[in-house]
Amino acid sequence: MNTTPWIVRGARRRWPALALSLCVPALAATPLSLHAAAPPAPVTVPPAQMAASPPLSLRQAVDAALARLPESVAAPERRQAAQAQLRAAGHWTPEPASLELSFKSDRAQSNRGEREVVAGIAAPLWLPGERERTRALAESEQRAVDSRLDAAQWRAVAAVREAWWAVHAADQTLNVVQARLAQAGQLADDVAKRVRAGDLARADQHQADGLRATAEAEIAQARSTRARAAQVLRALTGTPVPTLSEAPEPLPQRDTEAALAAHPVLRELAAKAEVARHARELAGVQTRANPELTLATSRERGGTGEAYGQSLTVGLRIPFGSSDRHAARLGAASAEQTEAEIQLALERERVVGEIASAQQQVTLAGLARDAADRRAVLSRETLGFYEKSFRLGETDLPNRLRVALEVFEAEQQSAAAHVALAQAVSQWRQALGLLPE
């Protein structure tokens, strides 16, 4: 659970690191005003929390998730397979040579002693241009292995970021309702004293106790939400989720053009299009099955008592081509290339739009944070007025409770706005293809 001090009364919660890292010239197009906050009044941290493990950083969570990623675990084997395919493309023959052995005898018929033994080797031959195009295809597939891994890791990071900020949002909500419970408990105690003194009625006591019970129920619900969010993050990382580091991600320094050149998804699709192009070029030269060169020697005799004769055979087998089969392979390869190129163009447009939208969301989230902070400051000041008036007997309890509820809602909105701003920056970095630092 987050142990960062929370302002219970007369001040708001602050994220110094977030305010410093997000209020930079990158958002100067839409100025974000900051409001001073009163000195914080930290909440007492239970001893069990003080002895907890160090906060988990986003980078640590991402590293743990990537180590469990199936694509990362299988990457060495895929690289070995691609290297083996590249080595095979450098051989002298497209397929290994084969050994042929045969023995002929008339023992089952006339049995005059006819014998013939043949031993030979048959080796397939490359078609014109096939070897170079096979090598180019193997090289492109080798490059595609790393691009597919990078894209898979990028998608995994997106899931970790989403789960990470869900836990943060749950932590902030829990902090707010804990502060509300402290306020409700103090108010209930004050009301109880005034009821015993005869200044307030028992109905007022019931209202104050009801407010405290409501806060207790909200804490139980907030803890349940936090547990569910933590479980999602734990399923991704495989590690327990203690307190999380509150250091937000910095604003990205990469522009859109640089992001498009290095974006994992675009690099994956570009590699896929390259593989499809080389596959089409290879299909263009594979007009028939590979010819086969045969070299054989035979040793034979015509009958019993005759000397064995030796002969050498050199043969070449050239299969006939099939225009329909060649057209089918070429058409399928062309379709794969066309599909990959169109998919790359569409994905590029989507990434450009996503980057622009994410950048705009950061600006809007900054405005929403500032507005929420102003509301929180004003509501706390109003609560101070009503508390003084309530102690002097000038304000009844229902109005005092209404103002306290408004403060709770303002605090909750402010905490959620801070998390939303940090999450928007994280999503902007995700859209640019950047990993956590």
Determine the average pLDDT of the residues in 269-274. Answer: 94
pLDDT band at 225 (very low <50, low <70, confident <90, very high): very high
pLDDT band at 12 (very low <50, low <70, confident <90, very high): very low
Residue 19 has pLDDT above 80, yes or no: no
Q: How many CA atoms lie within 13 A of 1 on its CB side?
A: 21
Domain ranges in the chain?
16-32+40-93+137-288+345-431
Q: What is the pLDDT of residues 354-399, one digit of tens each?
A: 999 999 999 999 999 999 999 999 998 998 888 888 877 777 778 8
Average pLDDT of every residue of the chain = 82
Residue 31 has pLDDT above 60, yes or no: no
Predicted TM-score (pTM) of this structure: 0.73
Q: What is the pLDDT of residues 169-190, one digit of tens each?
A: 999 889 888 888 888 888 888 8
Residue 3 has pLDDT above 70, yes or no: no
Residue among 301, 167, 191 nearest 245 (CA): 167
Determine the average pLDDT of the residues in 426-433. Answer: 92
| Percent with pLDDT over 70 in the chain | 88
Largest CA distance in the chain: 138
Determine the average pLDDT of the residues in 123-146. Answer: 90
Angle of CA points 303, 307, 313, to nearest 5°:
95
Q: What is the pLDDT of residues 67-91, one digit of tens each?
A: 999 988 898 998 998 889 888 888 8
Structure tokens at 56: 């988990």
Buried b (16+ CB within 10 A) or exposed e, 44-68: eeeeeeeeeeeebbbebbbebbbee
Cβ(163)–Cβ(236) under 8 Å? yes
Residue among 252, 233, 225, 235 nearest 160 (CA): 233
Cβ(351)–Cβ(265) under 8 Å? yes
99: enclosing H helix or E strand: strand 98-105
Residue 42 has pLDDT above 50, yes or no: no
**327 contact partners, CB below 8 Å, separation of at least 6:** none
Distance CA 26, CA 59 (A): 23
Cβ(360)–Cβ(404) under 8 Å? no
Residue 229 has pLDDT above 60, yes or no: yes
pLDDT band at 266 (very low <50, low <70, confident <90, very high): very high
59: enclosing H helix or E strand: helix 58-68
Phi, psi of 254 (to 5 degrees): -90, 135
Residue type, 144: A
End-to-end alpha carbon distance in the chain = 23
Roughly what angle, to the nearest 10 degrees, separates helices 58-68 and 70-89? 50
**311 contact partners, CB below 8 Å, separation of at least 6:** 297, 298, 299, 300
pLDDT value of position 304 = 75
Distance CA 112, CA 147 (A): 69
Residue 45 has pLDDT above 70, yes or no: no
Sheet containing 98-105: which strands, arranged edge to edge? 98-105, 115-124, 292-301, 309-317
Q: What is the pLDDT of residues 297-339, one digit of tens each?
A: 988 877 777 778 888 989 888 888 777 888 888 899 999 999 9
Residue among 77, 5, 66, 84 nearest 40 (CA): 5
pLDDT band at 192 (very low <50, low <70, confident <90, very high): confident
What number does CATH give the domain 16-32+40-93+137-288+345-431?
1.20.1600.10
pLDDT value of position 362 = 94
